[in-house]
Structure 1
Amino acid sequence: MGSVHSIREELLAYMNGNQMIHSHFAELSGLNSGTLSRILKGKHPISMAQLAAITAGMKLPEDYFFEDYIEECFAFVVSMRRIRPFIFRSAQLDRLDCLEQIVNRLLEDLSYASLLFEFAELLYGDNKRQAARILYQGVSEAEKYQHSERLALCQYRIFRIEIEDQHDLEEKLRAAAQFELYVYRLDAADQLDAMKQLMHIYGLVHKWKRVDELAKKMHRIASIQYELENRRSDTIDEGLKRPERPCYYYILYAYLARATASEECGDYKRALSFVKMYANGERWVHENDEQSRQIIAQFSKWAVANTYLYRLMTGELDVLDEYADYIALHENEIFVAVRYIVRAANVFKLNVDSILDRFAPYIPYESSKTEFGEYKQTILKESYAQFLIELAIYLFNHNKSKEQALNTVLKGLEISIAMNSSKNMVACMILFEQYRDFADQELLERFKKLSSEVYQLNAKKDLILLDAL
């Protein structure tokens, strides 16, 4: 392999080795005898259909000649009639190496960038995300000195692919920081979805000031878009690009995000002020269909639950039982609520054993679904790691089994390592060291092993930083 002639050479060697004449192999493969003759003489380019016929006739794996076919694509006049099906078949067979080579060859002529972007969008829509990423990356490189919306959209698609496939929080943060440079070049509809994804990442790594800033911008953009939508007629709206959810959803979501950011910064009074803004969407949302009613109802439920939480965290301890009774009616929200109840117990030195017993079947979380979609699994895992840290502190504070408490810390550390959550790893290690004297030899060995994994993660991070320099 390696030259434009190798497909023909191997085919001819196969025919000679099996004492086949042209007509015999043509019949065996389903090719026209004349076409086969012209292919062997190098007078006829090989189409993808013909390549598949040749490969099958030789009883070889379908992608056996794919690397050679790259040369075939460029040996005659460059033709998308050959290249397009080759790109899509390479994607289907996960021959990403071939995709990367052909994209690099094509982009020697930058006029192909537009066509490759169209192919990338088709692959992305067909859930061939890694294949699409190669094309988006190629287009981005081709247009890196331009301030085009297409460049921004390529970067957005790459960002979405990276955070969906990546469990490492440090890598998610790197992808977010790299993409954020392009977010404001996107169409307004894509900006709203992009900001939501960025807020998820910054929330996971506890950058709550950044979450608040993005939520403020989301609110402004969504409000403008919602006002424009309500001014337009239905006929004008038909070709308009829309975000994944209705614009009013992003207004409500921005309030929710700012409330959460305020809560995580300990400003519960400010958090309550935002709760009031997403509690009563029915007062200003113009739509009255099933979707709008469902969205408004879900935000209203979150408002009720979060009002209980913020009142509790400001010291209104008498709402605890009411809060517990309320979340009992909403099973899919129980785990997240219990996490905050344990946090409040640690702040105010409360005994919540009865609540932990009551909701034991939901710890760890039993479901990733809510009445309004799904929690991202990464968000749930991060939340669970934080819960284990809070629970361990609770067990230590209330003189429970030190072995149980230390096991809880180590479980939290394991999850934090798997996600590369620096803040949680540090919290777990400090907590274990604080109560090390209560650990038996088995617990100490587990901690030693996990500490070694943390060290390796940090060493890897240092190498990445050195490479960047």
Structure 2
Amino acid sequence: MEAKLTTIRSEIEKHLSRSGYNLASFAKVSGLNRGSLSAILHGNPPKPISLGQLDAMTRAFGFPEGWLYPLYVEECFGEDRVSRRRVEPFLVRCAEIGKQKCIDEVLSRIMEYPRPLEIIYTVAERLFCSGRIQESLTFYRRVVQYEPDSYSERMAISQFRIFMSLQTTHEMEPEQKLRGVISFEPYRGLLPEDMQLDGLLKLARVSSDLQHWRDAAKFADELRALAGGIYREELRRSSVKRPEAFAAERPLVMYYGQSYLLKATALMMQGDYEQAKQYTAGYADLGWFELLDEDGRRAVEDFRQLAAGSSFKLEILMGNTAVLPSYISFLADHPGEILPGMVIIMESANRFGFCADAVMARFSREMLRFEQFQDRVNVDRLYRLYYQIAIYHIGQGRHARGIDYIMHCLRLTVRLNSGQDFINCVTLFEQSRDYSTEDQQKAYRELLKEVRALDEPAVPAHSRFGIV
């Protein structure tokens, strides 16, 4: 005898029978209308079940949320159309409670119907705007995969949302960031202006993280031009009291100031200190900016302080040691700037040959705490500081201390998975090998063995250190 097909209604009927409910008693305990229940279970054709009704039944039976979701997929589809009233909230709820198999089945079936991307994009936006960023990515990626018009705003916004999900200051491999930039960059100009601001800001920041300074400068220039144009339009609107106002995620002055800061940083990292000073002046005093709210005024003050620190850095990098005492006082008042500031000071000490012993002594306690950093940005800064300290000590004839710092650097390059930095450290060690102790040579050999073990064939290719 052929087995009876399991449907959502047959399951509900089965559990009504097992629980001893009739329609009247179940309507009372579930909070649903008895007539609606009868139409759902016994109508010809049966009335469709809403997601709210299904969840109410599930609670009444005492089952966990999503109990009948796999069977509810069928409820979302007809012979020739998709029910948006049912499928959109269903996909949102499945994403919220982690019913990925249900999502996959719906997305597979929905592509057989007309205009499926409208539904998928709407679900993605609902999830993203409610803070469910990671959950939205499945749907945005489906839009990107199947959108027929590569120049549509829907395509551009989907690419934007995916790119904005990148966590630039957390543990993310540079290759992932680079892929994000490459995928999103062609779409930046197709976005609404408020999204363009955030997209360009993120492009400049991610390019800075990747140390792609020319790209960072290019995106910073675009950001400045866009923010400046919007600002001028806002002034015109305010002068004629037009009601519509530009709305962005952050105050407009923040984007404008960031464009100068990011351009100045890119120039500084390329060694163009004079131009970097000009752009630093561009965000040092933004008090002239009109239409500022409280957040905008706070941003102006933040930029003023950032510019003060950047001005010190540029003077130090240009060899102006007269400002060193003032810069040390500035760092003492701004502990968050000590690590990047120390990198600048040690780099300049090695370039211009001035003594930095007093600076290292002054911040010795803070330097011990740097070892606690776990995020990639600060670990990279710590590596660059130790590398400069190693060069400094070796240059001062303190080879043993310098080699100790080389060993610290080597370990950090393994954490960073940075092959080029590892090679630089190996080269520096080999240049000083004759001054190394037996213990240092032994530690060096052991570290090389550890690195080689990371590159064994048993390790997946994407995880290998791959430089020795």
TM (norm. structure 1) is 0.82
Match of 2:163 among 155, 159, 163: 159
Corresponding residue for residue 218 of structure 2:
213
Corresponding residue for residue 459 of structure 1:
461
Q: How does 1:237-256 map to 2 (within 5 A)?
A: 238-256=243-261
Corresponding residue for residue 231 of structure 1:
236
- Shift of the 458–13 alpha-carbon distance from structure 1 to 2, 3 Å rule, reads closer
Q: Post-superposition shift, 1:222?
A: 1.6
| Residues 1:345 and 2:343 are matched in the alignment | no
Residues of 1 paired with 2:167 and 2:430: CA distance? 33
Structure 2: gaps (5+ residues): none
Question: Is the contact between residue 234 and residue 245 of structure 2 (CA under 8 Å) also seen in structure 1?
Answer: no
Question: Is the contact between residue 403 and residue 429 of structure 2 (CA under 8 Å) also seen in structure 1?
Answer: no
Residues of 2 paired with 1:221 and 1:4: CA distance? 60
Query: In terms of mean alpha carbon deviation, does 171-180 or 185-194 score higher?
Result: 185-194
Residues of 2 paired with 1:442 and 1:102: CA distance? 57
Question: Is the contact between residue 252 and residue 296 of structure 2 (CA under 8 Å) also seen in structure 1?
Answer: no
Seq. identity, %: 28
Q: Post-superposition shift, 1:177?
A: 0.9
Residues of 1 paired with 2:262 and 2:136: CA distance? 31
Q: Which of structures 1 and 2 has the larger relative contact order (alpha carbons within 8 angstroms, sep 6+)?
A: 1
| Residues 1:259 and 2:242 are matched in the alignment | no
Q: How does 1:12-411 map to 2 (within 5 A)?
A: 12-14=13-15, 18=18, 20=20, 22-23=22-23, 35-36=36-37, 38-40=39-41, 43-75=46-78, 78-163=82-167, 167-233=172-238, 238-282=243-287, 284-287=288-291, 290-363=294-367, 364=369, 378-398=376-396, 399=398, 400-401=400-401, 404-411=404-411
Question: Is the contact between residue 143 and residue 158 of structure 2 (CA under 8 Å) also seen in structure 1?
Answer: yes
Residues of 2 paired with 1:295 and 1:367: CA distance? 29
Question: Is the contact between residue 163 and residue 181 of structure 2 (CA under 8 Å) also seen in structure 1?
Answer: yes
Deviations 1:231-259 (A, max 9, x none): 11378654444333333333322222222
Q: Post-superposition shift, 1:289?
A: 5.1
Q: What secondary structure does 1:180 align onto?
A: helix
Q: What secondary structure does 2:336 align onto?
A: helix
Q: What secondary structure does 1:62 align onto?
A: coil
Q: Post-superposition shift, 1:199?
A: 1.1
Q: What letter corresponds to residue 336 of structure 1 in structure 2?
A: P
Question: Is the contact between residue 389 and residue 412 of structure 1 (CA under 8 Å) also seen in structure 2?
Answer: no
Residues of 2 paired with 1:7 and 1:432: CA distance? 70
Question: Is the contact between residue 204 and residue 382 of structure 1 (CA under 8 Å) also seen in structure 2?
Answer: no
- Shift of the 407–133 alpha-carbon distance from structure 1 to 2, 3 Å rule, reads same
Query: In terms of mean alpha carbon deviation, does 166-175 or 97-106 score higher?
Result: 97-106
Deviations 1:317-336 (A, max 9, x none): 33222221222222332222
Query: In terms of mean alpha carbon deviation, does 395-404 or 309-318 score higher?
Result: 395-404
Structure 1: gaps (5+ residues): 369-375, 463-469
Deviations 1:352-396 (A, max 9, x none): 23222322343355999xxxxxxx965444433433433444444
Bigger radius of gyration among the two: 2
Aligned residues: 448
Deviations 1:67-89 (A, max 9, x none): 22212211476323322321221
Query: In terms of mean alpha carbon deviation, does 209-218 or 313-322 score higher?
Result: 313-322
Superposition CA RMSD, Å:
3.6
Q: What secondary structure does 2:82 align onto?
A: coil
Question: Is the contact between residue 218 and residue 251 of structure 1 (CA under 8 Å) also seen in structure 2?
Answer: yes
Corresponding residue for residue 371 of structure 1:
none
Deviations 1:22-75 (A, max 9, x none): 447666655556655554557232322332244345543322332222122114
Question: Is the contact between residue 376 and residue 416 of structure 2 (CA under 8 Å) also seen in structure 1?
Answer: no
